[in-house]
Amino acid sequence: MTKIFITRAIPGQAIKELKKRKGIIIDAYEKDQQIPRKELLKRVKGVNILVPLLTETIDKEVMDWAGAELKMIANYTVGFDNVNVDEAKKRGIVVTNAPSQQTSESVAEHAIALILALSHRIVEADTFTRAGKYKGWDPNLFLGSDIMGKTLGIIGAGRIGAGIARRLHAGFGIKIIYTDTHRNPEFEKMFGAKFKTQTQLLKESDIVTLHVPLLPTTKHLISTKELKLMKKTSILINTSRGPVVDELALIKALSKKQIAGAGLDVYECEPAIDCNIKDKFELRKLSNVILTPHTASSTIQARQAMTAVVVKNISAFIDGKKIPNKIV
């Protein structure tokens, strides 16, 4: 008998199909909210396969409580920074993630939505109009900036970066430059993209969009020094992981108009939107920033695709087959 525990109900037909398999017992946290830590520790005891969400930190303590019966951690997320992979490897626990083309496309669309909304000041104009302040057409009202013909700098030219480049290069005639751990000839050929150092990219880009995993090497990848390199007219988009950007440095740069704006779907101290509630710096007070609650991949199609990937990983593990998205 294989016992599976899911830390929060996940959507999709695939999970229903998994429940039909013989020899499998699936349990899930009943409430539509993040599972409390104490409840998580209690529920993982004796579990063979754990399906956590990004909101759960799966560390040594969780693995200790689960015991030797825990054989697999099937993460319901593209990233895996919430799992202590090294500890899992020591214990012989398989760790998987859940990337999919559909998820990448959804995040790419969300990033583009932030770019357009910032450039055309959509959120500011919406707030203004709802407040009853619109008194008639004004040629100087909420002057924004066209993105056609601008330069887009992509930091991390993976599937999401490619999805953004494909849409904006073909649809808006945007010039694509990028930086990554290595050059990507196919990416360059498809979008006429030019490889740059990060310093060059920050200096040249009108729009900078981040698509890197959270690693020790990417924490505060964008901080005071990097923000000073950017144009005063440029905008920064982050749909990757919050700590990739030094949030306090960003707030100061936005406040001083060192850059024109930022679109953020992730936050350094998430779910808090303010790392230090005692200081005077707060993202929510800035009009030149758009904030969304980590919903870049929040579409019906993307969530179903993520569930399908998780189920494929689990099924392959149970059947002794090659696991598609094995991390360790």
Contacts 24+ apart (CB under 8 A), 176-184: 176/151, 176/152, 177/151, 177/152, 177/153, 177/201, 177/204, 177/205, 178/153, 178/154, 179/153, 179/154, 179/155, 180/155, 180/156, 184/157
- Asked if 18 and 308 count as a contact pair (C-beta separation under 8 A), the reply is no
| 3-state SS track over 11-33 | CCHHHHHHHCCCCEEEEECCCCC
Strand locations in 36-189 (E): 49-51, 72-74, 94-96, 151-155, 175-179
Backbone angles phi, psi at 259, to 5 degrees: -130, 160
Could you confirm whether 211 is annotated as catalytic?
Answer: no
Could you confirm whether 270 is annotated as catalytic?
Answer: yes
CA-based nearest residue to 327, from 89, 149, 133: 89
Which entry of 241, 247, 268, 303 is annotated as an active-site residue? 241
Secondary structure percentages of the chain, helix, strand, coil, to 5: 40, 15, 45
Question: Which of the residues are catalytic?
Answer: 241, 270, 294
